[in-house]
Amino acid sequence: MTKGCFLSHSRFDEARDRGTAFHEAIELYWRTGTAGVSLKYQEWIDSFIRYPNLSAWEPLAVELRMIDRRYNVAGTLDLVLRHKENGRLVLCDYKTKNEPAEGKKLNKPNHRAQLGGYLSLLWQRFPELDITSCRIYWVTPSQTFSNDYSAVDCLTSYESARQTYFKKQLPF
């Protein structure tokens, strides 16, 4: 079995399908105030909607597609939120996960470089935005929690990864 065939018929299918359904439902939530519905993944949607203090934030950008033609990098950032009282801006990304096995902790890989990539793309288009932190929303069927990271740390991680990638490329 080839790698491509394995990936197209693997556990990644469920994660991809869950992420797509979740993103569609939550995009509708941020745009209209009412989340979409998914028969298969409703628990993740409901878990996120129950997250404390969401009502203190308003969306500035939802599912924003961006491109950097200089480095041929593109992506869709999930969300930029603005705090309704203090105006603070935070770049956000969702990570939908299954419940960890009993006695295990949720696996939370380092996504700083990914967040920094979105931040780099966003600042190319909107350099006036004062984003001081980046946030991952970890969403399982039973709970949602978040981790905030320094925007500078995320940008530094991305730039380092980008530099390493280009150093490994062939010269032609």
Domains held by the chain: number: 1
| 108 touches 147 (CB < 8 A) | yes
161 within a domain of the structure (yes/no): yes
119 within a domain of the structure (yes/no): yes
Region of 72 on the Ramachandran plot (φ > 0 left; ψ -120 to 50 alpha; else beta):
left
- Whether 149 shows a pLDDT value over 70: the answer reads yes
Which residues are paired to 69 by β-bridges? none
- Whether 153 shows a pLDDT value over 80: the answer reads yes
11 within a domain of the structure (yes/no): no
102 within a domain of the structure (yes/no): yes
- Whether 94 shows a pLDDT value over 60: the answer reads yes
φ/ψ of 86, rounded to 5, equals: -105, -5
- pLDDT at position 102: 87
34 within a domain of the structure (yes/no): no
State mean pLDDT over 131-135: 96
104 within a domain of the structure (yes/no): yes
Domain extent at residue 66: 56-167
- pLDDT at position 103: 86
Q: What is the DSSP letter of 107?
A: P
φ/ψ of 139, rounded to 5, equals: -120, 120
- Whether 4 shows a pLDDT value over 70: the answer reads no
For residue 49, give both structure tokens.
Answer: 């909607």
108 within a domain of the structure (yes/no): yes
The percentage of the chain sitting over the pLDDT mark of 90, rounded to a whole number, equals 77
Q: What pTM value is reported for the model? A: 0.89
* CATH of residue 68: 3.40.1350
- pLDDT at position 168: 87
157 within a domain of the structure (yes/no): yes
